[in-house]
A and B are shown apart, each in its own frame.
Chain A
Amino acid sequence: MDNFVNYLNESLLFRNFIEVLGGLDNTLLLLVISLPIGFVLSLVFALGRVSKNKLISKTIASYIFVIRGTPLLVQIYLIYFGLGSIKFIRDSFLWYLLEEPFWCGVLALTINTVAYGSEIFRGGIQSITKGQIESGLSLGFNKLSLLRKIILPIALRKVLPSYGNELILMVKATSLVSLTTYMEMTGIARKIMAKTFAPVEAFIAAGILYLFLNFLMVQFVKYLEWKYNPHLRLVDS
């Protein structure tokens, strides 16, 4: 047993693993802030996208078009380097947030996930059949309770698989924030590589951690699917 512990302590992969693990909290912090905000805003934007007001729906449509048509890296750089070069923003209170790479990352990730998420939710909302809404109306639901009791529950559980996909993409997207000097797992792996000149061990250690994070995310989404689709469960499970 002692031999094994010694071996582990000396192996480069294990030491890298421990060091990269130190960046896990920074990665999680990005997700914990941008995902909930992104979820709520996605819902709001999806409702705006299907609204009858042409101005609102067209504005949101063009926002989605621009964000989905450009790489996330461009968006991160635009916020980190681009916004900082505008004097008006440097002088305003926003600068307290935007001079930190962390908040730039959060902003970019949120903007990105809202564009993809709202398209997913729009699909869910539009897939609700007219009959369901009509029966709600005939029962005397007003617009808000129609939304709360019929549209959202049905739409959300329908889009769970594709929104889960988007969540996994977001976990992967956090690695790009490392390019703005923010030290999360990928950033630390790069630092290790520069220090030890052993790239493979460093990046494999980080890769294992990302795989594990995504595995947890998949299980979480599966649990949600099981919980909110009781009508699809098998009888004996």
Chain B
Amino acid sequence: MFKFEKLVFGDLGWGDEFLFATLMTITVSILSMGLGLCLAIITVWAKLISSRLTRFIANLYTTVVRGVPELLVIYLIFFGGNSVVMGIAKLFGYDGYIELNALTIGTIAIAFISATYSSEVIRAAYLSVNKGQVEAAKALGLKKFHIFLRVMGPQIIRHALPGIGNVWQITLKDTSLISVTGLVEIMRQSRIASNVEHSPLTFLVTAAFLYLFLTTFSGKFFKVLELNYSKGFN
């Protein structure tokens, strides 16, 4: 049933293929988490400034993306993204055919999803910092940039870290969905291998173990990070 001999490295097994697939999953997760955090910061900014229009757009974005299945978002960006990019290129006078590769599209799609979750976390963290501290910093004559860097920033990170850790786990697991675009990450690799070897159980269990390993390991990493950022409170 479970064929261990199919998992060796080299030409006889799928070990090295799975290693590369795992690296691909990690790459996509880190890229989309980073891009998602940037997007989330913009979203939070749009929600907090006193402009009705930006607040409406940001709220619409988070509500819609969180209310629609992740798979649909990925399909929409994967199949519809090309035409959008070509339309933008046309505005700048380029009239050829552009095709984005699966890695770019997958990263953007997952980032769009992960940003909605991160933005809630960051917003809550921002609001939980006491206003008096900003006033105190102003009274001490700190510039706006320094207030953010020295006073707000570290505290936002401390408040947001547990939530960001959760979002990271969700993002990591969501990357399994971009296997539908043909990007060879863990999930896609296990499907390819099981189709070739006619042994789905072996490779799907391997995939499950790899994901379990990644989530557990990165969970430990976030625990250490959290401890590091709450030094003054223990």
A66-B212, A71-B176, A71-B211 known; A203-B80 Cβ under 8 A: yes
Q: Judging by beta carbons under 8 Å apart, are A71 and B187 in contact?
A: yes
Residues of A within 8 A of B1 (CB): 85-86
A73 and B179: CB pair below 8 A? yes
- CB pair A203–B204 under 8 Å, yes or no, is no
Q: Is B54 an interface residue (CB 8 A)?
A: no
Contact B207 A74 (CB under 8 A): yes
Chain A residues contacting B76 (CB-CB under 8 Å) are 199-200, 203-204, 207
A180 within 8 A of B: no
Which B residues contact A (CB, under 8 angstroms)?
A: 1, 64, 67-72, 75-76, 79-80, 83, 173-174, 176-177, 179-180, 187, 190-191, 194, 198-201, 204-205, 207-208, 211-212, 215-216
**When the two chains form their complex, are residues B201 and A82 in contact, meaning their CB atoms are under 8 A apart?**
yes
Report the Cα distance A81→B201, complex, angstroms: 7
Contact of A78 with B by CB under 8 A: yes
In the complex, whether A178 has a CB less than 8 A from a CB of chain B is yes
10 example contacts (A-B, Cβ-Cβ < 8 A) are as follows: A71-B174, A73-B187, A74-B208, A75-B208, A77-B204, A81-B194, A85-B200, A171-B69, A189-B72, A207-B64
Residue of B nearest to A80 (CB): B200
Which chain A residues in 171-218 approach chain B with CB under 8 Å? 171-176, 178-179, 186, 189-190, 193, 199-200, 203-204, 206-207, 210-211, 214-215
Count A-B contacts at CB 8 Å. 111
Write the nearest CB–CB distance from B74 to chain A, whole angstroms: 10
Task: Across the interface, name the chain A residue whose C-beta is closest to B216.
Answer: A69
How far is it, in angstroms, between the C-alpha of A186 and the C-alpha of B69 when the chains are bound? Answer: 9
Selected contact of B205 from candidates A78, A178, A207, CB within 8 Å: A78
The answer on a CB contact under 8 Å between B176 and A74 is yes
The listed residue with most B CB atoms (<10 A of its CB), out of A71, A73, A168, A179, is A71
Q: A73-B187, A207-B68 are in contact. List 17 more A-B contacts (CB 8 A).
A: A68-B215, A69-B212, A69-B216, A71-B177, A71-B211, A74-B176, A74-B187, A74-B211, A81-B204, A83-B201, A175-B69, A186-B71, A186-B72, A193-B75, A210-B68, A211-B64, A215-B67
Contact at B180–A179, with CB atoms within 8 Å? yes
Interface class of chain A by DSSP: helix
B174 neighbours in A (Cβ, 8 Å)? 71
The residue in A77, A171, A173, A193 that gathers the most chain B C-beta atoms within 10 A of its C-beta is A77
* Chain B residues, Cβ within 8 Å of A211: 64, 67-68
- How far in angstroms is the closest Cβ of chain B from A208? 9
Q: Please judge, given known A-B contacts A71-B211, A73-B176, A74-B208, whether A203 and B79 are in contact too, CB under 8 Å.
A: yes
Residue in contact with B173 in the complex, picked from A70, A85, A210, A214, CB distance below 8 Å? A70
Residues on B with C-beta less than 8 A from A190 are 75
- Find chain A residues with CB under 8 A from B215 CB: 68-70
By beta carbon, the residue of chain A nearest B211 is: A70
Q: What is the bound-complex CA distance between A215 and B67, given in angstroms?
A: 8
Q: CB distance B201 to A85 under 8 Å?
A: yes
